[in-house]
Amino acid sequence: MSEPLDQAFDVLSKTLRKVHEPMELMRQVDELLQQQIGHKLFTILLLAANREDTVRVYSDNPGTYPVNRIKRMGVTLWGKQVIHACQPYIAKHDDDIRWAFPDHALIKSLGLSSALSVPIVYQGQCLAVLNLQHEENWYRDEHVAIADSVSTFLIPAMLALQRSF
C-alpha cells in the first residue's frame, strides 16, 4: 500500500478506537476516497431489514441527495449484483448509469456519467453500499480494491446505524 493510504488507514483506526459518531467516520471515508479515487458525488446507502429498500445515511451533497431518503434498490438488477451478490459495479458512461439508477436523469443533470458502487460486506451479507460518481470513464477496476479496503472501516458504523432504523 502507498504511504498516504497507510496514514489514512491509521486515522480511521484511531477513530474506531475512540468514542465517535458514525458521521465522523463516514466524513473521514469521504475525504480518503476523494484523495485516493476522486468523486463529484459520494453517498452511502444502508440496507433496510427487508433487503429491498436502502436508506441514504451519508451524502456529500445533501441539498440534492438528502439523507434519510429511502430508495428501493434491492429489487433492481443493480441491487441483485451489488446488494445480493455482494459484487461491485462500475458504470463507465450514461447508458450504464441509466441501467443502474432510477434517478439517472438527476445524475446526468449534475454532469455525472460514471459511478463506482462497492458493497460494505460483513459476515457474507451486504450492510450498505458506497456510491461514488464522477465524469464519464472515471472509474477503473483498480479503484474497487481501494474502496473495498476502505469500506471495512465502516462496518461498525453501519451496524450501529442499522439498529437505529
pLDDT digits (tens, 9 = 90+) for 113-125: 999 999 999 999 9
Taking a C-beta distance cutoff of 8 angstroms, is the pair 104, 95 a contact? no
Question: What pLDDT does residue 1 have?
Answer: 54
Q: What is the mean pLDDT of residues 103-110?
A: 94
Q: CA 12 to CA 17: how far, in whole Å?
A: 9
Q: Is 23 helix (H, G, I), strand (E, B) or coil?
A: helix
Q: What is the mean pLDDT of residues 1-5?
A: 70
Question: What pLDDT does residue 29 have?
Answer: 95
Taking a C-beta distance cutoff of 8 angstroms, is the pair 111, 39 a contact? no
59 has a pLDDT exceeding 70: yes
Cell output for 87: 459484487
Mean pLDDT taken over the chain: 93
Question: What pLDDT does residue 50 have?
Answer: 87
Name the band, by pLDDT with cuts 50, 70 and 90, for residue 7: confident
- Provide the domain count of the chain: 1
pLDDT tens-digit profile of 127-147?
A: 999 999 999 999 999 999 999
Cell output for 5: 493510504
Alpha carbon distances (Å) from 73 to 2, 6, 55, 84, 123: 34, 33, 10, 11, 21
Q: What CATH number corresponds to the domain at position 135?
A: 3.30.450.40
Question: What pLDDT does residue 155 have?
Answer: 96
Cell output for 50: 427487508
Domain span at residue 71 reads 3-164
